[in-house]
Amino acid sequence: MHSIYARVNNVSATISTIVMVLLGAMALSSFVFNPHPTGSLEVTSVKVFAGETRRYPHRRQEYAFVTFNITADLSSLFNWNTKQLFVYLEAEYTNAKGVRNEVVFWDRIVRRKEDAVMAVSGKNKYPFRDVSAKFKGSTAANYTLKYNLMPFVGILTYGEAARVMGPIEFPLARERVE
């Protein structure tokens, strides 16, 4: 009853129960907070150029180049269980073959509350290309600023911070920069 095994067993069981209950409470506490992220997104230009694919040396492909301005205040998403925010810009459109596409072309990891007030004017970080290799015949694209809240412990949540009013058409592809 009072052997060393029994004592070690009891102590470790109590500690692990307490830790699990605390972690559970922490995960649940995320639902108490009611964040209200605000922001505005503006796409200043969309250009399409023809280029070569990364994988196949002689295959041609079109690339879209997007510049944008973001002003957003995501600081209300930071509570004591927020490890980081993954903020990303999404373009959503349907191409000529009826394929619905969602593409991330810019992202940023926000780890501190001070950095959550964002003013960014930038261009796409990742190559923005279509599955069919051409943007011709695509519908106009909707641009959205989204975030993924990643907690220290618990459930991952997603949300939208801003969007461009109305879709934006892809221009015709150009062979070279003028």
Partner 1 sequence: MFSEELKTLRKLGFRHLLLQTLNFASVLASGLMIYKGLGLITNTESPIVVVLSGSMEPAFHRGDILFLVNPPNARYEIGDITVYKIPGQDIPIVHRILETHDVVKVVNGVREAKPRPENQLILTKGDNNYLDDVELYQGLDWLERKHIVGKVRGFLPYVGYVTIAMNDFPQLKCALLGGLGLLALVQRE
Q: Which residues bind partner 1 (CB under 8 A)?
A: 5, 23, 27, 54-55, 83-84, 86, 88, 90, 97-104, 109, 111, 126, 131, 146, 148, 150-156, 158
Work out how close the CB of 177 gets to partner 1 at its nearest, in angstroms, rounded to a whole number: 24
Work out how close the CB of 41 gets to partner 1 at its nearest, in angstroms, rounded to a whole number: 16
Name the residue nearer to partner 1 (CB basis): 23 or 174.
23
Name the residue nearer to partner 1 (CB basis): 60 or 174.
60
Residue 147 is inside which H or E element, if any? strand 142-151
Work out how close the CB of 114 gets to partner 1 at its nearest, in angstroms, rounded to a whole number: 16
Name the residue nearer to partner 1 (CB basis): 43 or 153.
153
- Residue ranges with strand state E in 74-133: 82-94, 100-110, 117-123, 128-129
Q: Is 91 exposed, middle or buried (0-12, 13-18, 19+ CB in 10 A)?
A: buried
Residue type, 9: N
The C-alpha angle 99, 104, 109, rounded to 5 degrees, equals 160
